Structure 1
Amino acid sequence: MKRALGALTASVVVFAAVAIPASAGTAKIVWKPCADEQPGYECGTLALPIDRSKPGGPTFELAVNRHKATDPAHRLGVLFVNPGGPGGSGVEFAGEAPQYFSPQILERFDIIGFDPRGVAGSKPVLCGEDLVNKQRAAIYPRTAAEFAKLITVEKQLRADCRARTGPIYDHMSAVDVADDMDALRGALGEAKLSYYGVSYGTLFGQMYAERYGDRVRAMVLDSTVDHSLDTHAFLTSEARAVEDSFREWVKWNQRTASSALHGQNVVKIWDGLMAKAERGELTEAGGSKVPAAKLFEEVGGMGYGPEWLSFSEWIAGLHTGKKAPAPSRAAALGEPVPEPLAASLCSDFNFAIRDFKHYQQLSAAERKNAPHVRSSMLGHAATTACLASPKAVNPQHTPKLRTANKILLLNSAHDPSTPLEWAAAIHGQNKATTALVTYEGWGHRAYPYTTCTKSSTDNYLTDLKVPAGNLHCAAQEPAGADQG
């Protein structure tokens, strides 16, 4: 999941049964230099139906870019990439390929980036920013009246987004994206594809493997989404992940002399700040209030890099009353903003919250699993974003990953967004067709962190060498304090 994101089994059979045949050769991409004139890249678009059940109906333009293999004589094919979200731009991610991937990957593959439908260059979902911010401010209701208000805001936001975006808003599930991926594969003239997906991009990969497993050469799912979780399991596992990241940050403060909180009782300081925020008494230098939701948000975001140093400076400033920059700030109100999360997420997950009493029970379960941080704001925002949505068209189910070659799962042991337990569950459900590599360190995305994670992935992608057993890559202490 990009920082902004994770009837259970029957649906997989339905989706497998209605997989749409490829249409290789029937659609073409006209390649041209990219607008930013980035060396080594070509850009294009592919016209695809908004509703795959109505191939003659309205279409949208799928934005695509390509970085050709630098060693054409030894080219292995195409490597599709996606950074997750939902809402991350695959075109932007592919544009970072020379800095992200090892030279051997760039030599052997055409790197193919695509913006999933509803994202960036592919008919983006747009919503009124005033409603987006109202929704974000209301996701932790304290009373039945506030819960009812949140549902009202969610309904208003959904209607606003659909009106601004058009019919594609109702066709943004991971199954839709998987079908688009296969159409793109066909348009490129490739019999098979390789894939590297991060976070929510792993769900796109899973749906592709379910529907088009015979067209997968290799697939890497880095920071894996578990699509089999119900609402309670999703919320509590997300809460545990952020609590774990908090405890790792506390340990870092204890062993790092350069930290603004080194030598202090960090847990006591944090608990005191959290209690003040929940009473409405926590302020920054200058007098502005810091709500508890801000602490929820920033402690979860801190674990991504991880960004321990800047987070410690901010917490130290709140504790002492001295001014310290907050890790992030909300944008100004007014203009339409890209906001594809709910349209995608609520098409793939039925997050059922029956009423305020049920919401209270779920919140209590979050707190039980995260006594210091209370909640994963990412997980909480994901579930409440779907309060006004219809039932998911691609609801939770145990994935059936069937590919000729094993799928490689990567995950950090201390990931605040897609916890290791999710990857372990996917591996356990698909032992014959997956292999798991665990990075014993911190952060979201495991591939870039160490030689071990990179080499095991690179060797798999290039030579289809699957790591023996469940490989564990040792943690590497971040240089300085912030990384990622």
Structure 2
Amino acid sequence: MRFGLACTAFVVGGGLAAGCGSASPPGPTARTTTEAAAHPAQPASPGRLRTATCTDLPGFRCSTLRVPLHRRGPAIGDGRRLTLAVAVQRVARAPKGDLVFLSGGPGQPGRPFGPRMVARLGDALRGYRLVVLDQRGTGAQALRCPPLQREVGTSDLAVPSRAATVDCARRLGSARDAYATADTVADLDALRGALGDHRWTLAGVSYGVLVAERYALAHPDRTRGLVLDSVVPQEGVELLERVPLRATARVLRTVCADERDRCPGDPARDLQAVLHRHPDLGPPLFDALTALSIGVPRLDPVPALLHRARAGDLAPLRTLIRTVRGQESAPAELFSAGLHAATLCADGPAPWPGGPAAPAAARTAALTRSRAALRRRDTAPFPPSTALDQGLLQTCRWWPPTAAPPPPPRGPIRAPALLLAGDHDLSTPLEWPRAQAARMANARLVIVPGAGHSVLLRARDPRGRSALRTFLRDLR
């Protein structure tokens, strides 16, 4: 997940016709979950793919799919539409059907990665036709919130100002409640109908994993199989981020096991000692370490820097934090911070009752209780203050009350699934795929040593791609 942090890879959904910064009306009056339930989700209806120009994607045929902006709530039927950009691989035959890849974020487009995926995955795709698309609110029609984009860029964990967060929600106006994962799942099923598929295979990375899981739960009879790379649990990621915080000790010690000469001490103990004296470093350091685990991991220098910081020399560690933070920037069409906030604040299990519909006072009261209740063991080697002050939680704390989406379907996912994980990944740590695989009916988990976030496209070790080749070949 993790959800953002410039996850490289896969796919889902389209663009916003009246995006962030449009002449949308002021933000909607907050509705309760009960009121939202009175306006159930609109079933996806098969659409029609319209041909589009696509000279930038060799080997693909491009098209668009029109879908409703509002699929649930009182605005259903208001006539507002989104146009999803879709690209379908040109192949002579695809006896195993369509394979749809779902990108990370939320906020990252998927369509531009089509040719790269074909080149990287090679003969693993034999017999399939690759389909990629831009998720609603991404790509050319990305939600645009300039202040928030400047402040957080591609990060899940950078802490935005309250003003930038509220400004983004104001720009979205009445469309603020139209970007939950449930809406993207409905878009996907409309695409399946437009392609004429009875069943298909879904693959995703990071946030794309959550979309694939939710689709398989909602439409088990339409899901042939799942490829889940850098796994998010099917219930979503809690806003407190306790599992990734605790996973930091394991990951840093794994780095030391791989590179003993770089580790003058125990990096987890060094980190805990540094943050005991400098708790304000917790959120930016958590952000930096997570970013360094994306793609090909770059965590090797960290243990030595933590050891120096424990001895009193904080300057190199602060330099690392500033350097990494400076790299977490991108234009909205490559990663939409506005969509990222709208989706995560709709879907993320929150520490306050009522989820996204909760009023500000209820959120503040719940965080006060959490600050008193959290224990060091809940977040160690980070202090509990890091969980409460990091950017994912703070963004959703200030995001204005918004109608909650319908709860996801429950129960185990029954479709055959391949789960891929890197043991150096802090964005979607190994603890998540292990727990997710254990609750699935037919899952195989492959752990790639030394890999970080985004195994298929970024890991140097070929074991993940080899497992994919076998899984897709044997899938019935």
Query: One fold, TM greater than 0.5?
Result: yes
Question: Corresponding residue for 1:452?
Answer: 463
1:388 aligned to which of 398, 405, 426: 398
2:370 & 2:153 partners in 1: Cα distance?
A: 16
How many residues are matched?
Answer: 417
Q: CA RMSD, aligned part only?
A: 4.1
1:124 aligned to which of 142, 157, 164: 142
Q: Which runs of 5+ in 1 are unaligned?
A: 6-10, 142-149, 256-261, 280-290, 466-484
Question: Moved runs in structure 1, 4+ residues, more than 6 A?
Answer: 134-137, 312-318, 322-325, 330-337, 373-379
Q: Write the letter of the residue equivalent to 1:329.
A: G
1:219 & 1:379 partners in 2: Cα distance?
A: 35
Q: Write the letter of the residue equivalent to 1:371.
A: P
Task: Map residues 108-257 of structure 1 onto 2, 5 A cutoff.
Answer: 108-121=127-140, 123-129=141-147, 133=151, 153-154=161-162, 156-228=163-235, 231=238, 235-255=241-261
TM-score, normalising length: structure 1: 0.72
Question: Corresponding residue for 1:63?
Answer: 85
TM-score, normalising length: structure 2: 0.73
Residues 423 and 436 in structure 1, CA contact (< 8 A), matched pair in contact too: yes
1:379 & 1:184 partners in 2: Cα distance?
A: 39
Q: Write the letter of the residue equivalent to 1:434.
A: A
Question: Corresponding residue for 2:288?
Answer: 298
Question: Corresponding residue for 1:79?
Answer: 99
2:193 & 2:431 partners in 1: Cα distance?
A: 35
- Cα offsets for 1:451-478 (capped at 9, x unmatched): 432222222223317xxxxxxxxxxxxx
Q: Write the letter of the residue equivalent to 1:407.
A: A
SS of the equivalent of 2:138 reads: coil
2:195 & 2:330 partners in 1: Cα distance?
A: 41
1:42 & 1:378 partners in 2: Cα distance?
A: 46
Q: Does 1:51 align with 2:70?
A: yes
Task: Map residues 85-100 of structure 1 onto 2, 5 A cutoff.
Answer: 85-100=105-120
Question: Relative to structure 1, is the Cα distance of residues 269 and 87 closer, same or farther in structure 2, using a 3 angstrom cutoff?
Answer: same
- Cα offsets for 1:168-188 (capped at 9, x unmatched): 432111110011011112222
SS of the equivalent of 1:96 reads: helix
Residues 176 and 402 in structure 2, CA contact (< 8 A), matched pair in contact too: no
1:125 & 1:200 partners in 2: Cα distance?
A: 17
- Cα offsets for 1:376-417 (capped at 9, x unmatched): 7799422222113436634766743555x4233222344212
- Cα offsets for 1:104-143 (capped at 9, x unmatched): 31x422221111111223x322213268629999x899xx
Task: Map residues 396-407 of structure 1 onto 2, 5 A cutoff.
Answer: 399-402=410-413, 405-407=415-417
- Cα offsets for 1:204-254 (capped at 9, x unmatched): 11121122221112211222212437848x522121122322222333442
1:425 aligned to which of 432, 435, 440: 435
Q: Does 1:371 align with 2:362?
A: no
Question: Corresponding residue for 1:287?
Answer: none
Q: Does 1:342 align with 2:363?
A: no
Question: Corresponding residue for 2:5?
Answer: 4
2:418 & 2:58 partners in 1: Cα distance?
A: 31
Give the structure, 1 or 2, with the largest relative contact order (CA under 8 Å, sep 6 or more): 2
- Cα offsets for 1:153-205 (capped at 9, x unmatched): 54x44442234345443211111001101111222222222111111111111
1:226 & 1:189 partners in 2: Cα distance?
A: 30
Question: Corresponding residue for 1:439?
Answer: 448
Residues 239 and 366 in structure 1, CA contact (< 8 A), matched pair in contact too: no
Deviation at 1:269, TM superposition (A): 6.3
Question: Relative to structure 1, is the Cα distance of residues 221 and 170 closer, same or farther in structure 2, using a 3 angstrom cutoff?
Answer: same
1:3 & 1:98 partners in 2: Cα distance?
A: 23
1:452 & 1:378 partners in 2: Cα distance?
A: 37
Q: Write the letter of the residue equivalent to 2:144.
A: L
Deviation at 1:293, TM superposition (A): 3.5
1:329 aligned to which of 322, 326, 331: 326
Percent of pairs with identical residues: 24
Residues 29 and 187 in structure 1, CA contact (< 8 A), matched pair in contact too: no
Q: Write the letter of the residue equivalent to 1:125.
A: L
Deviation at 1:81, TM superposition (A): 0.8
2:196 & 2:448 partners in 1: Cα distance?
A: 36
- Cα offsets for 1:267-290 (capped at 9, x unmatched): 3765675566547xxxxxxxxxxx
Q: Does 1:462 align with 2:473?
A: yes
Residues 4 and 106 in structure 2, CA contact (< 8 A), matched pair in contact too: no
Deviation at 1:433, TM superposition (A): 4.3
- Cα offsets for 1:352-397 (capped at 9, x unmatched): 34345224246x4466532268787799422222113436634766
Question: Relative to structure 1, is the Cα distance of residues 242 and 59 closer, same or farther in structure 2, using a 3 angstrom cutoff?
Answer: same
Q: Write the letter of the residue equivalent to 1:62.
A: L
- Cα offsets for 1:56-89 (capped at 9, x unmatched): 61001112223223xx235422211122111121
Residues 195 and 218 in structure 1, CA contact (< 8 A), matched pair in contact too: yes
Question: Corresponding residue for 1:472?
Answer: none
Question: Relative to structure 1, is the Cα distance of residues 328 and 158 closer, same or farther in structure 2, using a 3 angstrom cutoff?
Answer: closer
